[in-house]
Amino acid sequence: MDFSILLLAGFIVFLSQFVKGFSGFGSGLFAMPFLVLLFDIKFALAFTILLDLVSGSVMLYREKREVSTSVLSILVVGILGGAILGGLILPKIDFRILKKLFGVTVVLMAAHMFLQRDSRRKMRNKRFWGFLAGFTAGLTGVLFGVNGPPVVYYANQSCDSKRQLRATLYFVFLADSVFRTLTYAVTGVLGLQSVSFALLMVPFLFLGIIAGNRVHFNVSEKSFKRVITLIVLIVGLIAILR
């Protein structure tokens, strides 16, 4: 593999894990639109999920006592169902269609992030909406490597504090990473090449986590998300039009 491609991929991994270290989510949402411009989408899905396993485990270790078990349990059940359905669809879907659908999904998620409000509103039928949010995240996570917005939206309205929200998101996305890794292994998406490439990306991963955690309390999260949303929207449109 060309060394310049390796460095570019490492920079994308660094930025995506910086986002995750800063906010507790968003690594796939940030990384995948850029990685599909460099690699086959299935290869990108495979090695990034391995990286999320590592970063999720490291980040959850410090925050595990803050996790909301009630929010976590319903989301994880939904994610499992969505991941199973996604695994059944993934080997049968055409790559060109998958990429177009991916672009549309990214644009919709960017619009969701832009319109999302910080205030928590009361939600009726929380278990139903929690399962639906998890199911959607599991499905889009397997197919596109992007699973954040539905989970974040539900957890934001269900957790009692910012710290609890962050810790719960760490745990939810770690569980999702485990499900997706098993799904990719069974369907043949995950192979030795993707494992080897993930190992090369580990130094960039840890640099991103450290940097993201250090600036977490010093940068406006609202302003930061606006920039990320704009970038994701532009790249999602590129994926649709290419």
Per the CB < 8 A criterion, the answer to whether 140 and 85 are in contact is no
pLDDT score for 29? 73
Residue spans per domain, the chain? 3-241
* Pairwise CA distance, residues 194 & 190, whole Å: 6
SS3 4: helix
pLDDT at residue 62, rounded to an integer: 76
pLDDT in tens, the chain (242 residues): 688 999 999 999 999 999 888 777 778 777 888 898 899 888 998 999 999 999 989 888 877 788 888 888 999 899 889 888 888 887 777 667 766 777 787 787 677 767 765 544 555 678 888 999 889 888 877 777 667 777 877 887 787 777 788 788 888 888 888 888 888 898 888 989 999 999 999 999 999 999 988 887 777 756 666 766 776 677 677 667 76
Please report the pLDDT score of residue 202 as a whole number.
95
**Interatomic CA distance for residues 179 and 224, integer angstroms:** 29
- In this structure, the dihedral spanned by the alpha carbons of residues 33, 38, 44 and 47, taken in order and rounded to 10 degrees, is -120
pTM of the model: 0.72
Tokens of 14: 């660094």
Q: Quote the pLDDT of residue 204.
A: 96
The two tokens of residue 171 are 């745990």
Q: Which two tokens stand for residue 216?
A: 């977490």
Residue 185 CB neighbour total at 10 angstroms: 13
